[in-house]
Structure 1
Amino acid sequence: MARKKKEECKAPPAWLTSFGDLMSLLLTFFILLYSMSTISLEKFYQAIKGIIQAFGGHYVIHEERVIQGKRIPLDFPDMYPKMKTRRAIEQKLQEIHQMLKKMGVKSEIAKYGTSIRLRINTDKLFPPGSEKPYKETIPLIMEMCKKLKELELPITIEGHTDNVPIRSKIFPSNWELSAARAVSVLRLFIQCGYDPRKLSAAGCGPYRPIAPNTTPEGRAKNRRIEIVIHLPG
């Protein structure tokens, strides 16, 4: 009786054949879908614009052309932000702090998770009860703006006061005074050339003290302008 020859390779399991047929059918199905689809340039650019705006951009400039396997250059003139390291931002704020110190203006830097605050005492910036800065301090504010402008980051200018009540024809309370002072600094920043889209102002009145209002020193510390630099995510 003749011996049976040994099989050189084991036969594949039965399920593998079915699985291979399934993958082939799926591949054919997606190739068929792709062959029937058309690329809409308008929808493509709308999708790109949406992604850019989600990351802080403002608009996309593009040329109308047919995609032919080449890269299409897109201009992002206002793409936000130009990435700055936290160390570089803090170094710039230290420069401003030293500049203010030489001019006899008290200031301090407070660090938070998503922002850094430059707190500036207003006693030498504004006359008591006025929202208009001293004329001699306007160049100082403009120079401060020039340094901050290099960061190209969004900032909020906050006005703060002590709890001593103020009543005048212009300002019925400290709240209005603090808001007016913040806006005055904001307008100077705009004159300096800071992008208005990255600026905002807020008046907080006496409601966010950083020192007790029970002493002259504490009240003086609470009379301040805070420049809040919002850090990139």
Structure 2
Amino acid sequence: MIFQLTHEPIAAELTATPADGALAVFVGVVRNNHQGRAVSFLEYEAYGDLALSEGAAILREAEEVFPLTQTRCVHRLGRLEIGEASIVVEVTSGHRGEAFAACRYIVDEVKARVPIWKKEHFVEGDAEWVNSESEPSDSKRVLLSEILRHWSGWESDDLKAFQIVDVREPYERPQVLQSPGDRTLHIPYSEINQHLARFAQGDPYLLVCDSGTRAKVLARDLQSKGFGNVFALSVGFRDL
């Protein structure tokens, strides 16, 4: 089982063992367009330690679900030119069906769960983080208790015990978040390890983000560090 992040070019490397009947490989490459705009190059950034631990967890899950003999996933970081490989996923198995299914599982889970961000650089000279929201023309203040009532049926009284932590990056905050009593902490996901002292073990925290994915990954990471009462909202601001 191998999960790696690298700034160097990547390629497939696994070879099948004598017991294998299938070797499945997926290679994601940089294309020259995004939503109808011409792209000149990409940049990838990652929350290193957490990305590595979550990527390894995904490979372990794949090996538990599918009868695999080898798994490997490598993701590029830094600047990538058009046509370069951004991710390589390889698995070996006794049969092609399991190999194909496992390869897709790993690709989909890495895309959904591993904290890696992509920045598109366009030929016109501007750039944007993929999936970041633009500033609305009529910027509105959003009361978190109303969001949570809309999402999950909770009433605001149910939130009074929680410290709300908004882990979105600054560029993702077109909305100004409020919680009951204005107690929201704004700690960017990429800086969380620098602010662990702001978390008290035993206190209840509710993490929120743009989609719910990073909040869930971060909640698991904080729980592994001894913060047992950390929870994540499974949906995010983009669902409003």
TM-score when normalising by structure 1: 0.24
TM-score when normalising by structure 2: 0.23
Q: Which has the larger radius of gyration?
A: 1
Q: Which has the higher contact order (CA 8 A, sep 6+)?
A: 1
Q: Higher helix proportion, which one?
A: 1
